[in-house]
A and B are shown apart, each in its own frame.
Chain A
Amino acid sequence: MHNRSESSADRVIEVEGLTKQYRVFDKPEGLWASVRGLFHRESRVIEALRGVDLRVNRGEFLAMLGPNGAGKTTFLKLLSGIITPTRGTARVLGHVPWERTDDFRRRFALVMGQKNQLWWDLPAAESFRLHQEIYRIEPRRFARIRDELVDMLQVGRLLGQPVRELSLGERMKLELVAALLHEPEVLFLDEPTIGLDVVAQHTIHEFLRRVQRQRSVTVILTTHYMKDVAALCERVVVVTSGSILYDGSLEQIVDRFTTHKVVTLDFEEPPPAEQVQRFGFPWEMRGPRVTLRIDRTQIAEVLPRLLADKQVRDVSVEDVPLEEIVAGLFRGASAAANTSTEPAGVE
């Protein structure tokens, strides 16, 4: 598990036993079933979060990974005070989030990649002005921060354009500027790069990295993109079916959940299958390129043998792709969780 040696004074987020249950009503198919449903509805309790414990220190950049419906967004909504938990406690910057005190709400920001927070019909500059009033930002400070953020993302030319006319990438950059205008100490990012092209993703990575370092902002990022995680986060929390499956560094996730490395051999020309089989490891071949999966403990011993093959032009040794490790984790956890749904109730 992740090493947390800092004092409690540095602790920004403390969560214990956080549980969120939703009651959902099943809607059966067919007209008769719908009529019956007016008087008698079958319901189920869904546990979006199951007793989550988490501690985050000031300045940490934490990624939360998990399949769809794992509870990542529910977790951010609880920490932002949007919804209240069924059980458990949470403190963010010393505040109970769902008490929604103004002092707390002035100190954090939430950016949701799939939801628009800027005014749709107005230029972003107008939304920023509104933000200044809502967060009571002193005019000179507001102008300084806005110009600084706008320069970093090079979006000055977009400020006067109605938000509805912007591309998704442009809009997301302006959403980030709006979220950071009041200099939040904690930033919750819910899939901020969803649907963005590679260039826009890269720009946002650079921007977030710079802002986080300059201002020591504590960031929790939920994402499905491993590129986001690799570019930004030192700590990774994997959530599946509402529980934390892993909490540690990105490097450890590779060490802990894989036993082998991927060795790629480039031949002069496609080798015969029998020659590849002789290596004695699981393999895949695409033209002159052969990929072998070799146990990490055997790499030092096997590599000289592979290099000795005169037809091998190039060799590379890499970890198993992060996407593959995480997908394996998700699959394993979802298979285990399929049996643990709460019993049905009737209303």
Chain B
Amino acid sequence: MLRYLTIFATFARACLVRDMTFRANFLLECLTSLGWMSMNLAFYLLIFSFTPEIGRDSGWSREPFFAFVATGLIINAVVQALFMPSASELAEMVRTGGLDAILVKPLDAQFLLSMHRFDFSSLANGIVGVVLLAWAVPRFPVPPPLVAWLLYPLLIVCGVAILYGLIITLAAATIMMGRNQSLYDFWFYITNFSRYPAEIYAGPWGGPLRMLCTFVIPILLVVNVPAGTIAKPLSGEAWGMVLVTVVAAVAAISFSRLFFQTALARYRSASS
């Protein structure tokens, strides 16, 4: 484990060196990312100028909702910084045979493939997320209890784990298929669901969609459960969802691991 942490740190250091080599690009990426996020926040402020709450009696009034947005920013920043750059490179590596070099290294291939490239500029959004959370929490109608503060980081880790499982599953599909671009589009479509409170999915279409995105592809748990734990009272149902989230995280990691191993056994490599 220590060895993997050391290698992780070495990769991170090497990526930082690379990012510093292209300083202008790094700053531009930070600015683009912050610009996109500022527009989103402005959009939400606009919505709250028309309504005091998103969804009837949902508990997502302005400050709790901004805690929800902050939680999403933190989770997505971690995923975008640590896993997405490597995963998005994978399709090209499979197509060109670059994956070969990874498979001959005496390290876990999944670790190497999912964590060899980082994008530190994405962490800028995470920092804004922490600041936004620090602004929103003292303005909650009811302050979060100690147990919510203890559960919050654990559930953030679970949210990241669910997204990581999804990324690895898509990456494994890439290895099996040799070429896979639409599945990365699928990633962006599906993760869009995680950006809004689960309560908005109601009615004859919304209800089944909510069930699907909670229990089959548990994308709705990723932000909703940690944000709900800190921003809303911990009811019996909330405790149930905490348990579901922990189970979903373990299942996502286990399933993606199994699928990845199966895909590697079927890897064909590319022509020299």
Q: Please list the residues of chain A having a beta carbon within 8 angstroms of any beta carbon in chain B.
A: 22, 73, 77, 80-84, 100, 102-106, 108-110, 112, 114-115, 117, 119, 121-122, 126, 129-130, 133-136, 162, 190-191
Contacts and interface: CB of A to CB of B under 8 A. Distances in A.
Given A83-B267, A103-B106, A122-B14, 12 more contacts: A73-B271, A77-B100, A77-B269, A82-B104, A82-B267, A83-B269, A105-B106, A108-B104, A110-B100, A110-B101, A112-B272, A134-B106
A104 B107 CA distance: 11
A168 to B, nearest CB: 16
Given A77-B100, A115-B97, A117-B101, A82 B106 contact: no
B41 interface: no
B21 A81 contact: no
B272 A73 contact: yes
Contact of A100 (B11, B97, B103): B103
Nearest to B265: A84
A162 to B, nearest CB: 7
Contacts of B105: 105, 134
17 contacts: A73-B272, A77-B100, A80-B104, A81-B104, A83-B267, A103-B106, A105-B105, A106-B106, A115-B98, A115-B101, A119-B14, A121-B18, A122-B14, A122-B18, A130-B10, A130-B14, A135-B106
A50 to B, nearest CB: 18
A77 B106 CA distance: 16
B272 A102 contact: no
Given A82-B269, A134-B106, A135-B106, A115 B100 contact: yes
Contacts of A102: 106-107
A195 to B, nearest CB: 13
A83 B106 contact: no
Contacts of B56: none
Nearest to B98: A115
A81 B101 contact: no
Q: Label chain B's interface by main secondary structure.
A: helix
Interface in B84-133: 96-98, 100-101, 103-107, 109
Given A82-B269, A105-B104, A121 B21 contact: yes
A75 B145 CA distance: 62
A121 B96 CA distance: 18
What class of interface size applies to chain B in its complex with A? 20 to 34
B139 interface: no
Contacts of B23: none
A57 to B, nearest CB: 22
B107 A134 contact: yes
A166 B22 CA distance: 18
Contacts of B268: 22, 83
Contacts of A114: 272
A215 to B, nearest CB: 19
B45 interface: no
B130 to A, nearest CB: 29
A132 B3 CA distance: 11
Contacts of A134: 7, 105-107
A82 B11 CA distance: 23
A191 B272 CA distance: 10
Nearest to B6: A133
Contacts of B250: none
B272 A190 contact: yes
Nearest to B19: A121
A87 B104 CA distance: 21
Contacts of A117: 101
B17 interface: yes
Nearest to A102: B106
Contacts of A105: 104-106
A82 B100 contact: yes
Contacts of B11: 130
Contacts of B106: 102-106, 134-135
Interface string B16-31: 0110011000000000
B267 A126 contact: no
Nearest to A121: B18
A135 to B, nearest CB: 7
A129 B18 contact: no
A99 B96 CA distance: 23
Contact of A122 (B17, B96, B267): B17
Contacts of A136: 3
Contact of B10 (A77, A100, A110, A129): A129
A238 B109 CA distance: 33
A172 B97 CA distance: 18
Nearest to B107: A134
Interface in B236-252: none
Nearest to A74: B269
B14 to A, nearest CB: 5
A270 B263 CA distance: 68
> Lowest 8 CB-CB distances: which A-B pairs, in order?
A105-B106, A102-B106, A73-B272, A117-B101, A106-B106, A121-B18, A133-B10, A133-B7
Contacts of B14: 119, 122, 126, 129-130
